[in-house]
Amino acid sequence: MSLNEIGIRYDPKNIETKWYSFWLEKGYFSPKEGEDTYTIVIPPPNITSKLHLGHALNITLQDILIRFKRMQGYSVLWIPGEDHAGIATQTAVEKFLAAKGQHREDLGREKFVEIVWDWANTYRKTIKDQIMLIGASVDWSRERFTLDEGLSKAVRKVFVSLYKKGLIYKGKYIVNWCPRCKTVLSDEEVEYSEHDGKLYYIKYPFEGENGEIIIATTRPETMLGDTAVAVHPSDERYRAYIGKTVILPLIGRKLKIIGDVHVDPKFGTGALKVTPAHDPNDYLIGQRHNLEYVNIFNEDMTINENGGKYIGLDRYKAREMIVEDLEKEGYLVKIENIKHSVGHCYRCNTVIEPMLMDQWFVSMKPLAEKAIKAVENDEIKFYPERWKKVYLNWMYEIRDWCISRQLWWGHRIPVWYCQDCGHINVEENVEKCEKCGSTNIKQDEDVLDTWFSSALWPISTLGWPEITEDLKRFYPTNVLVTGFDIIFFWVARMIMMGYEFMDEKPFSDVYIHQLVRDKYGRKMSKSLGNGIDPVEVIEKYGADPMRFTLAILAAQGRDINLDVKYFEVYKKFANKIWNATRFVLMNLEDYEEVPLENLKLSDKWILSRTQKAIKRVTEALESYEFNIASREIYNFFWDELCDWYIESVKKRLRSEEKNLVQTVLVKVLDTSLRLLHPFMPFITEELWQKLPVKGESVMTVSWPEYNENFIDEVSERKFDTLMKIIKGIRNVRAEMNIPQTTKVEITIKGEISKEEEAYLHHLGNVSKIEYSAEKPAQSASAYVDEKMEVYVKLGELINIQSEIERLSKKVKKLEQDAEKFRKKLSNQKFLNGAPEEIIEEAREKLQNIENQITKISEIIENLR
């Protein structure tokens, strides 16, 4: 085989585009015929920007599973697609237009939506290109978008169905309002953070008598909407006040004092101002006591006509003026500095405002019942399992879901209001009023929450509401790979909708992948400037090293602290794979496959180790232990195949045993490239194509099957012992400053075979082996067990006295280092304050130092 068939150096740019195009042309990404199916639907990326490293991790882990299952013989389908991301996309486009001096209100709804479609198509192409760069083997012929006509039909059908079952309703309720995005947010879309704030103590005077009740509030501007004062009915301080009336300062409204168990007697003064239109808890109090609801805000958070002289002021400006007026008129008692949790819009970070508004809601508790039982009974399993409890805790306390959004981009709510008779028409499509027949109808202006359409993703992407062949064949899907942050937004809702409309789970497993952080453990963000662009990583290191890095760091239940130097480490691994394959190809002259007979010790060892690698990698992938699977194949390929087996057979490749060694090398390398393929698809395809094996592509050949017939525990033990002896000899050389190229003589107390002697001569660079029952003078121990001792004879190789002095100095320095760690680990302040991983790292370093001291001390004793 000519060396021209493989370049001297691994260059990912030369192979990645070539092989992705080849796979596409061959149609390998589409499912083949067969009853055993394996399906994944991709979590659709938002069309707001290009992909980040979290997306790269998510896509890589899915592709590993998909390629693994495809090679196992399943009919595999991986559906790609993108999410229209209502709020996020509309916000991004509005910012884009604002930079050009344009506003959506000036353009009008139709023109604005047209511009957003252009944006969507641009970013959909960008996202698709990036997914291809990563090497994802998704079926592009089935690519979907959450605003596709087919998916829109599914959304309309679900809305109408739930409405007619009484599970969708419209009503006034306290919702989270974002004044920047000018839309409602669900509870899950509000992000809370600690802020420095103030607690204002205000007098509310009694009507017709002296005295007052003092209220503490963080938002004095909302007092404009107060309609009662509440105290806990068992609070001795205020029990006698219940039923009395106070006067609302600055406004003059009469407020009843009521008793309600919701009031926390320990907060502030224990008396609560009740603003039913602007606080969710106050809203419930208002319902219980039949209070008036006074809305004081416009949608832009300026004070409306109910705010008296403060009308038109921004909420924060109104707060300033109200506090000033309270102080002037003697109502302000004091102001305290506090820290409190404040809700923000998850998209634009604006402080949200609770508002009483007419919105559309889904009644969730009836939908949640089957979705709860499915996870309780492990019909749907979470990996890692701890997320099961997180899911269930949220589901047990689930609240109704506000699904209407005051946006222009998204699925328009399928509700039409008759302008003549007032009838509400709820159908998938309406041309005239079903009650009076009038065509003077107007569709609801709002759109549905993005997550409403995303909740249907596993069924809508397969063609539902039509009962398509794909739906019958590939539903339910097998696994969902996603992040923890959308368990409530998305995972739970998909499970509920799957049971509601298919009467079956949408997937069997939910794998919650890691969060990719920077090397210091900080979340990657634009503000910190610590993000890593996967496209830049691919350009510098290649897609395969990036994929392998992410996989080997993906330990279940632990976030990834990523240092860019890791990509360099696994680029070296790719180089190792390339160079090892190149060496094998260089030595396949006159190759002829022969039966695996008359095997030598190293042959039996590597064939046995290959089977164990197959078993471990397969088991790890089946249980979503991506890091363990990666580590197993890494250690097997680099340490066992390259560093030991290939080194052990170099001389035999020039002997009469050449064909046997070639056959073993091809078999093991073929297996290794197959095991590596799901992790590193491009380099494995390039190299596998050069091997003298049958098949059109490594992607379509079978996954290696574990064969117990090749397991040889005796040969493994013998060769493992040889490796330990050789490592011991190399360590002695290193400790005694003897070059590794210098031949040494060894003495063995015990017995080994002539074949084993040959390995020691070749791999240990041993010139002479003697057998003796006594330990030789002037020697260093290389290996000891219950049956054998091996010593390196030092003799003329070193100056004994100089070495004793050098090693003694080294022990003294190590003792000083060890003492520093002992003091640190005996310091209670350090033990109580340091993170556990730092303490454990200190313990490991001390243990390593002490081991070195013991080892070097033994060498010194031997030399003496």
| Binding site feature residues for ATP | 526
Structure tokens at 252: 């003059």
Structure tokens at 497: 């909708």
Query: Residue 184 in 3-state DSSP?
Result: strand
In the block, tokens 């882990």 appear at 61
Q: Based on the number of CB atoms within 10 Å of its own CB, is 336 exposed (0-12), middle (13-18) or buried (19 or more)?
A: exposed
Rounded to whole angstroms, the Cα distance separating 227 from 279 reads 12
Structure tokens at 372: 């709860």
Rounded to whole angstroms, the Cα distance separating 362 from 339 reads 34
Rounded to whole angstroms, the Cα distance separating 95 from 106 reads 14
Is residue 680 within 8 A of residue 547, CB to CB? The reply is: yes
* CA 31 to centroid of chain Cα atoms: 26
Rounded to whole angstroms, the Cα distance separating 163 from 218 reads 39
Query: Taking CA 626 as the corner, what is the angle to CA 623 and CA 628, rounded to the nearest 5 degrees?
Result: 90
Partner residues linked to 337 by β-bridges:
198
Partner residues linked to 196 by β-bridges:
339
Structure tokens at 477: 């899907």
Is residue 79 within 8 A of residue 142, CB to CB? The reply is: yes
Query: Residue 88 in 3-state DSSP?
Result: helix
Phi, psi of 461 (to 5 degrees): -70, -20
**Positive or negative: CA dihedral 156, 158, 161, 162:** negative
Q: What is the dihedral of CA 763, 766, 769, 772, to 10 degrees?
A: -100
Residue 63: half-sphere exposure toward Cβ, Cα within 13 Å: 31
Which segments of 486-622 are extended strands (E)?
507-513, 516-518, 560-562
Bridge-based pairing of strands 381-383 and 271-274 is unpaired
The H or E element spanning position 747 is: strand 744-749
Amino acid at residue number 756? E
Rounded to whole angstroms, the Cα distance separating 24 from 548 reads 22
With CA atoms as reference, report the closest residue to 164 among 156, 152, 154. 156
Is residue 296 within 8 A of residue 251, CB to CB? The reply is: no
Partner residues linked to 332 by β-bridges:
202
Rounded to whole angstroms, the Cα distance separating 444 from 406 reads 10
Is residue 125 within 8 A of residue 83, CB to CB? The reply is: no
Rounded to whole angstroms, the Cα distance separating 407 from 430 reads 21
Partner residues linked to 84 by β-bridges:
none
Rounded to whole angstroms, the Cα distance separating 334 from 312 reads 27
In eight-state DSSP terms, residue 310 is G
Is residue 760 within 8 A of residue 722, CB to CB? The reply is: yes
Residues of 604-617 as b/e, b for ≥16 C-beta within 10 angstroms?
bbbbbbbbbbbbbb
Query: Residue 131 in 3-state DSSP?
Result: helix
Rounded to whole angstroms, the Cα distance separating 679 from 373 reads 35
The H or E element spanning position 382 is: strand 381-383
Annotated binding site: 526
